[in-house]
């Protein structure tokens, strides 16, 4: 089995991207996605990982939209200078 | 895998840089306080905050990532278009994705299965990650991972800001 692999690597020497590299990147991506993070990587196809990645990115975008909306409503009604100082302090300590 | 705590140990981490830039943008917006609460003004404020979040994050990451470079480029073009509306050359050319030929065999396998749509998810991903159109597949995966980490940081900081404003 290993000899077959090295043969295919030699034959695809022209393309610098190996399947192993891609599989590694896909499994790293899987670790970032809460939906499929805990499933074994041999049980989740690369296609599924990509699909879940897209869904996750879309949900993060929606969260940013929602937070922007709520922040814009809050800004209408508050005077923010002291709040900002507190925020920066809490983030930096 | 190292666990990330909420408080950044490195003062110039991306999270901190993003937080500072984002708050600066919010501050600037606050100074031009508009007493009107019409729908148009509300929407504009929402758009501004969302744009400030995106650009602050790209700016905090800097030019070291393809996705952040793409966002920064878009911002510069956007500003240029608004300043010089007659200029037709500000549109950046879209590189043709040469990777259609070099697909990973992992995705090519079993294209007839119901949930294995073959190339569909990759195209979707390219549409979601800034600058995704011109990258090879390996770069796309790597950029996506970084982009997701930054989006999560963005959500975390914005949530913190929201909580502070609400108390």
B87 vs chain A: nearest CA distance in angstroms? 31
Q: Is the pTM of this model over 0.90?
A: no
Per-position b or e across A3-22, b if 16+ CB within 10 A of its CB = eeeeeeeeeeeeeebbeeeb
Which pLDDT score, from 0 to 100, does residue A55 have? 95
CB of B128 less than 8 A from some CB of A: yes
Q: List chain B residues with CB under 8 Å of A91.
A: 7-8, 15-16, 19, 157, 160
Tokens of B57: 């994050």
Contact B18, B57 (CB under 8 A): yes
Interface of B with A in 62-91 (CB under 8 A): none
> ipTM of the assembly?
0.74
Could you read off the pLDDT of B40-64 as tens digits, one per residue?
888 888 999 999 999 999 999 999 9
């Amino acid at each position: 089995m290993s000899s077959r692999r090295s043969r295919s690597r030699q034959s695809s020497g022209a393309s610098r991207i190996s399947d192993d590299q891609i599989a590694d990147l896909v499994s790293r991506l899987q670790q970032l996605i809460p939906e499929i993070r805990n499933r074994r990587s041999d049980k989740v196809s690369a296609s599924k990982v990509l699909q879940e990645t897209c869904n996750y990115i879309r949900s993060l975008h929606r969260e940013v939209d929602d937070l922007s909306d709520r922040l814009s409503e809050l800004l209408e009604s508050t005077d923010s200078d002291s709040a900002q100082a507190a925020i920066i302090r809490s983030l930096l300590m | 895998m190292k666990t990330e705590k909420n408080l950044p140990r490195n003062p110039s981490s991306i999270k901190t840089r993003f937080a500072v830039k984002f708050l600066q943008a919010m501050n600037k917006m606050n100074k031009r306080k508009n007493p009107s609460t019409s729908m148009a003004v509300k929407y504009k404020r929402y758009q501004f905050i969302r744009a400030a979040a995106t650009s602050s994050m790209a700016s905090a990451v800097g030019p070291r990532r393809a996705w952040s470079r793409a966002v920064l480029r878009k911002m510069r073009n956007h500003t240029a278009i608004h300043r010089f509306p007659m200029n037709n050359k500000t549109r950046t050319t879209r590189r043709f994705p040469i990777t259609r030929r070099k697909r990973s065999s992992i995705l090519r396998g079993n294209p007839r299965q119901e949930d294995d749509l073959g190339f569909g998810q990759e195209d979707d991903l390219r549409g979601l990650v800034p600058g995704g159109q011109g990258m090879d597949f390996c770069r796309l995966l790597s950029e996506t991972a970084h982009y997701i980490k930054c989006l999560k940081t963005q959500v975390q900081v914005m949530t913190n800001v929201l909580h502070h404003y609400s108390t």
